[in-house]
């Protein structure tokens, strides 16, 4: 990702001032060369969402880039903002970096939750997959929408968001379009968590220890 971020932040457009402004407004952009760009969930119009089926979870952004062909990857908005802040600091733009830091602080404050129902994972050994991994697709989850049961080449199994998988290579096979893990947190009532994004009735959250995992939305409430 470091090389992709470097390309994003080193083009004539957007300027460093525009990068900070876009981050503050939560607004995407496309570079003049057409190879690199950023899209926020709210950038998608009705046609893109309803007809083309494009989907970006809240709390994430889509980065389009070029490495010999057109590619895209979903990243957590917080990670993107941290990368932008660090880029600005390395280039001596401390005032602009402070704008991005303000955006980060506001994002973290607005996405805090507390556990109201303890959750115990049914999969104590998490599965870690990389973008490009091929998996076998199984049944769809009856309880949570848009989760599909997958099996990797090693025979390891897990539930995965269907949005993370491109099954164009065959009806029973899929390829991961981004890194993924199914690490679920075992939680206790009263525990506070920071939400990174929501997807298919689950939150991707972080603990104060910087651990990152999943919890069902219905087990927490916003503070």
Residue 45 resides in a domain? yes
The 10s digit of each residue's pLDDT in 140-160 is 999 998 899 999 999 999 999
Domain of residue 16: give its range.
Answer: 2-110
Residue 125 resides in a domain? no
Residue 31 resides in a domain? yes
**Which pair of tokens denotes residue 59?**
């709390």
- From residue 16, alpha-carbon distances to 6, 22, 39, 81 in Å are 12, 10, 17, 13
Please name every residue paired with 158 in a beta bridge, in sequence order, or none if there are none.
150
**Predicted pLDDT of residue 152:** 94
Whether residue 66 sits in one domain with residue 6: yes
Whether residue 137 sits in one domain with residue 217: no
The 10s digit of each residue's pLDDT in 159-215 is 999 888 887 555 788 998 888 999 999 999 999 998 888 889 999 999 988 899 999
Whether residue 91 sits in one domain with residue 74: yes
With 0.85 as the threshold, say if the pTM is over it: no
| Structural domains in the chain (count) | 3
Whether residue 190 sits in one domain with residue 167: no
Whether residue 88 sits in one domain with residue 39: yes
- From residue 64, alpha-carbon distances to 6, 23, 57, 170 in Å are 13, 16, 16, 24
């Amino acid at each position: 990702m470091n090389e992709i971020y470097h390309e994003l932040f080193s083009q004539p457009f957007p300027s460093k001032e525009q990068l900070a402004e876009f981050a503050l407004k939560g607004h995407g952009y496309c570079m003049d060369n057409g190879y690199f760009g950023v899209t926020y969930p709210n950038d998608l119009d009705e046609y893109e969402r309803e007809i083309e089926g494009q989907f970006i979870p809240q709390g994430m952004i889509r980065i389009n880039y070029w490495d010999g062909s057109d590619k895209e990857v979903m990243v957590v908005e917080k990670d993107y903002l941290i990368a932008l802040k660090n880029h600005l600091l390395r280039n001596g733009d401390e005032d602009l970096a402070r704008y991005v830091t303000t955006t980060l602080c506001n994002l973290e404050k607005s996405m805090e939750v507390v556990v109201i129902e303890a959750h115990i994972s049914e999969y104590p050994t998490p599965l870690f997959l990389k973008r490009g991994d091929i998996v076998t697709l199984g049944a769809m989850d009856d309880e949570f929408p848009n989760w599909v049961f997958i099996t990797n080449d090693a025979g390891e199994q897990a539930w995965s968001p269907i949005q993370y998988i491109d099954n164009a290579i065959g009806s029973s096979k899929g390829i991961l379009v981004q890194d993924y893990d199914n690490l679920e947190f075992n939680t206790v009532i009263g525990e506070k968590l920071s939400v990174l994004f929501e997807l298919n009735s689950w939150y991707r959250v972080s603990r104060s220890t910087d651990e990152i995992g999943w919890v069902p939305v219905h087990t927490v409430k916003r503070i």
